[in-house]
Amino acid sequence: MPFENKLSLVTRVADLDTQRHTTSRTYESFCLEGRHALLKDKGFSIRELVDQRIVLFPTHQYVKFMYQQEAGARLNVETRAYPGEDGFILWDQRVKQEDGKDVCHIQTRTGTQGHQNLLGSAKEDHDIEIYFNDLQAFSGACKVVKSDYTTLFCERDIFGAYSPAQMWKVFEEGRWLFCARVGLTLERFVEMDTTSFYMGGVFNFHRPLPAGKKLKIKTWIERLEKIRYYFRQDVIDEHGVLMSLRDEQLIVSVSGARPRKPPPEFAKLIRPYLEVKGE
């Protein structure tokens, strides 16, 4: 049986993005609170973790978004933790509205520095579906946009590392830089009566992000399928890939407020960056 915990949190004005919706990073930050609340229940408060130099690090994540939220939304974070061997923990978390509807589903697999079994040890064959996977390496079949990104010392957490929400931020910035480079500016989206919603994704974390270092974000489009397209990103340093992402974007008509096929101009702009040529 998993360990379970539940807490309630409220979104803020500061959590809203350019489209007046709560950012994806807010949900991960809420889930981080849930993970640490459960650890505290089991005797591992933040103070205890720091004093014992215990650090949890993510290896994989999955996220799926269901309902957009605005500021002032009271949300419940339901956390289930499944201990594994060698200090690994599978966290299955759902952020819900007060009426019980799922807002967001996040799965995280964490390892523990020193392989400490904070929640005990068990085989990782729990009766739960795993939604993340190991992402395939870039095939080289299309152009990519390479963007510079420097990690900030001030964004590290109490453990001297970057939280998953901060790592999501790197990918989010990479998407904006990609769009700016290929001509998909906010103004161009308005002209095309088009936007896209981030529906979910899979993250692979290979090595910790170094602080204060200039990195490269390599961005391309894996495929375009009717009303959806899929970003792929690698964040790299001089030693190779630090972390990777595959995310799903839903193409939406602004005026119609419904999914739509991509306008010809949109498809033309991204075609050189399509790894799998199709539609």
CB of 260 within 8 A of CB of 251? yes
> In the chain, where does the domain assigned CATH 3.10.129.10 lie?
1-117, 133-279
C-alpha 22/C-alpha 10 separation (Å) is: 11
- Render 38-105 in DSSP notation, one character per residue: HHHHTT--HHHHHHTT--EEEEEEEEEE-S---TT-EEEEEEEEEE-GGG-EEEEEEEE-TTS-EEEE
Contacts 24+ apart (CB under 8 A), 151-158: 151/209, 151/210, 151/211, 151/212, 151/213, 151/215, 152/211, 152/212, 153/211, 153/212, 156/211, 158/46, 158/50
Given the candidates 1.10.10.60, 3.40.50.2000, 3.30.1360.70, 3.10.129.10, the CATH classification of the domain at 1-117 is 3.10.129.10
- Token pair in block for residue 95: 């952020």
**Which of 24-28, 195-199, 219-223 is predicted with the least confidence, judged by mean pLDDT?**
195-199
Asked whether the predicted pLDDT for residue 124 surpasses 60, the reply is no
Q: Percentage of the chain surpassing pLDDT 90?
A: 89
pLDDT by residue (tens digit) across 204-241? 999 999 999 999 999 999 999 999 999 999 999 999 99
Q: At residue 97, what is the residue type?
A: Q
CB of 98 within 8 A of CB of 74? yes
Res 235: pLDDT: 98
pLDDT by residue (tens digit) across 64-82? 999 999 999 999 999 999 9
CATH 3.30.1050.10 fits 133-279, yes or no: no
Count of C-beta atoms within a 10 Å radius of residue 72: 9
Res 32: pLDDT: 98
The chain-wide mean pLDDT, for the chain, equals 95
Res 176: pLDDT: 95
The three-class DSSP label of residue 29 is helix
pLDDT tier for residue 125 given thresholds of 50, 70 and 90:
low
- Token pair in block for residue 56: 């949890």
